[in-house]
Structure formats: structure tokens, C-alpha cells
Amino acid sequence: MVDILHRVGIKSSVAEVYTALTTVEGLAGWWATNTQGEGDDLGGVLQFRFEAGGFDMKVLELHPGKRVLWEVVDGPEEWIGTHVIWDLNQVDDDTIVLFKHEGWKEPVEFMHHCSTKWALFLMSLKSLIETGKGAPDPHDVKIDNWN
């Protein structure tokens, strides 16, 4: 198994980042404008729809200000059963986000694409919180012919 890993610092409190990861409004502000579901309830399912397709994430863990864990329950075959983990830590004026998309069976070409897109969306999250304006789909940077 292989994982996508990223680290980003955001000038904010962990509470603000946590809210952006667990509310439909927050998620729609940095990842996919077409977001529905329950992100702040254990067992809830979030539906993210992009111009190029979509994903459904089941909320497995919620530790306010510390951690969010989703399991991919619908979407591309390579994503089904993988986990998306957000670990948060306050360091001075920054919230450090340790992001992990774990459980890929192998590092296929689609994983390269997804790693780059995750990095861009993490920058969108940072921008949303620090400036009030993110770049969610369909306003995100398009990197290749898959989006």
C-alpha cells in the first residue's frame, strides 16, 4: 500500500480549520462547490461532486481541533476503501495540517494526478482561511486532461 502525504501551515486556529473540514459550507469553500451530506456526524456521508466525477466519504473519526478521518465509500475504483486523514496541530500562530490519503493499492498514474490535486486543494483550504477566498472545483487550477 502507498499513501499521499502533505503538510501545510495555515495562519489560523485549529478550530477554524476543523470547521472548514467538517461543515458542508466549509468544504464547499475550498474543495468542491457541489458538496452535500453530513460532515460533522460520525457515520455521516459527504458527497463531493466535481466536473470530472465525484466521491462519497463516510466520516469515521471526529476529534475537534485534532483529527478528521474519512473512508471513501464511492468514487473511482482506486479510491474505494482508502482513507483520508487530517491531523491538526497548533504551532504558534499556525495550524499545521498533516494530510494523508492512505491505502492506495499501487502508485498508478491516477495517484500522481490525485497527489497534485490534493496539494492544490490544500492551498485552496489555506487561501480560504487566510484570505476568505478558496479555489474549489470548478474554480480550481486544471492540471491535465483528467479535469
Other C-beta atoms closer than 10 Å to the C-beta of 19 total 19
75 grid coordinates: 468514487
Query: pLDDT tens digits for the chain (147 residues)?
Result: 899 999 999 999 999 999 999 999 999 999 999 999 999 999 999 999 999 899 999 999 999 999 999 999 999 999 999 999 999 999 999 999 999 999 999 999 999 999 999 999 999 999 999 999 999 999 999 999 998
Phi/psi at 106 (5° precision): -160, 155
pLDDT the model gives residue 127: 98
Give 137's DSSP letter: B
Answer whether 0.95 is exceeded by the pTM: yes
pLDDT the model gives residue 9: 98
Nearest to 126 by CA among 5, 61, 31: 31
**How far is residue 80's CA from residue 131's CA, in Å, rounded to a whole number?**
33
pLDDT the model gives residue 52: 87
pLDDT the model gives residue 44: 97
Under 8 Å between Cβ of 30 and 17: no
Q: Phi/psi class of residue 137: alpha, beta or left (left: φ > 0; alpha: ψ in -120 to 50)?
A: beta
**How far is residue 51's CA from residue 131's CA, in Å, rounded to a whole number?**
25
